Amino acid sequence: MRVVVTGSNGLVGRRLVSQLVERGHEVLGLARGARRVEGAFTYASVDLTDGPLLTETLGGFKAEAIINPAGMTDVDGCERDPVAAWNANVGVVATLARAARTAGAHLVHVSTDYVFDGEDGPYAVDAKPNPRGTYALTKHAGEQTVKALLPAAQWSIARTAVVSGWPSTGKNNFGYWLISTLARGQPVPLFSDQWVSTSHATNVAAMVAELAEKRLPGLWHTCGAEVMDRVTFGRRVCERFGFDPALIKPSRMADVKLASPRPAKSGLDVTKTAQTLDARPWTVARALDELFRERQEHP
Ligand SMILES: NC(=O)c1ccc[n+]([C@@H]2O[C@H](COP(=O)([O-])OP(=O)(O)OC[C@H]3O[C@@H](n4cnc5c(N)ncnc54)[C@H](OP(=O)(O)O)[C@@H]3O)[C@@H](O)[C@H]2O)c1
């Protein structure tokens, strides 16, 4: 299959590219600036918000599937620059959806648990979104864009949450930040009042790739299998990596001034994914084993 992966330098994007190549697909990775990931795939440096350039690049490749993990993922940054957030999280999606429509390609768009308000998670795939804050609003608008521009059989929306992976891609991710801070013996403040479905990027990529390969339409929750508060997750990290659990300092989200609101009682129900895909959502234990292995491989 000929597959385009946007944001191929990113945390999920780079794993998508390598897994798809390993499975014999012909891959075009699109990202900004120089190629940052090696592998047997074609790379094009494209600012995805340049609609005409993106359309031309896609037209030349004749993709059968387009996977879009790219986006403006800095939640507080989106609050500060809503125009950039809209362009990256909605405008790009519109260009990709139009190109998929023209080519008859399947579009898998990666979204987030932030489309929900976090009042009463975990959320089923068909729960009603209620986004709060610019990142959440633009990611939800991205989902709506996909639904508006493509026939129902031609899109998948894959929501994920709190994705970790080692090493860092240059941006901090939750697991990387947590493990590297604890390894230096420094205290880590973690919210005790925020529940999330933590995920590992390798597992997210495997589920998302399968959606593209099988052209499975509709809404999917492609995240870890368990919902827990961040303090409990931090203590599980200490247990697995042998760090001092006293370094975990419980704090309350309610006491911190954040530029953008965060869902408190979040979490995504993965029943449909677990029952349908060969790539199952990982438990926290499985994800921590993989982080441990990755850190040994890239100390
Ligand atoms: N990470 C999480 O915890 C999390 C949680 C829930 C949902 N998600 C969703 O999952 C998806 C993947 O997340 P991730 O953590 O893999 O994100 P990431 O590491 O930030 O990767 C996103 C990639 O998109 C690229 N990109 C953004 N705007 C671009 C543009 N205009 N032109 C070209 N490339 C552009 C970025 O390029 P640069 O590297 O040059 O900036 C980056 O490499 C995102 O859609 C995100 O909303 C992530």
Domain boundaries, the chain: 2-165+198-225+266-282
Q: What's the confidence (pLDDT) of residue 250?
A: 97
Alpha carbons within 13 A on the beta-carbon side of 102: 14
At 18, is the pLDDT very low, low, confident or very high (cuts 50, 70, 90)? very high
pLDDT on residue 260: 87
H-only helix segments in the chain = 11-22, 51-61, 75-80, 82-86, 92-103, 134-149, 174-183, 201-214, 230-241, 271-276, 284-297
Tell me the pLDDT band of 221, cut-offs 50, 70 and 90. very high
Ligand 1: does its nearest atom lie under 6 Å from the Cβ of 13? yes
To which residue do tokens 């919210």 refer? Answer: 191
Q: What is the pTM of this model?
A: 0.98
Instruction: Report the nearest-CA residue for atom 14 of ligand 1.
Output: 11
pLDDT bracket for residue 195 (50, 70, 90): very high
Mean pLDDT of the chain: 97
| CA 7 to centroid of ligand 1, rounded, Å | 6
Cα 292 to ligand 1 centre (Å): 23
> For residues 111 and 157, is the Cβ–Cβ distance under 8 A?
yes
Percent of all residues in the chain with a pLDDT value above 90, rounded to a whole number: 96
Q: What is the mean pLDDT of residues 195-217?
A: 98
- Cα 103 to ligand 1 centre (Å): 24
* Rounded-to-integer distance, Cα 230 and Cα 253, Å: 11
Counts for the chain of helices (H) and strands (E), in that order: 11, 13
Question: How much is the pLDDT for 58?
Answer: 96
Span 84-104, pLDDT tens digits: 999 999 999 999 999 999 999
Is the Cβ–Cβ distance between 195 and 151 less than 8 Å? no
Query: Is CATH 3.40.50.720 the classification given to domain 2-165+198-225+266-282?
Result: yes
Catalytic residues, by residue number, are 135
Would the CB of 49 count as within 6 Å of ligand 1?
Answer: yes
| Interatomic CA distance for residues 232 and 290, integer angstroms | 18
Q: Is the CB of 48 under 6 A from ligand 1?
A: yes
Burial of 244 (0-12, 13-18, 19+ CB in 10 A): exposed
Q: Is 122 in the pocket of ligand 1 (CB under 6 A)?
A: no
228 C-alpha to center of ligand 1: Å?
24
Q: Output the six-digit token pair for 3.
A: 């597959």
pLDDT for the residue numbered 259: 85
- Residue to substitute in 4, 11, 159 for testing ligand 1 pocket (most ligand atoms within 8 angstroms of CB): 11
Among residues 208, 258, 297, 249, the alpha carbon closest in space to that of 74 is found at: 258
- pLDDT per residue as tens digits for the range 243-270: 999 999 999 998 888 888 899 999 999 9
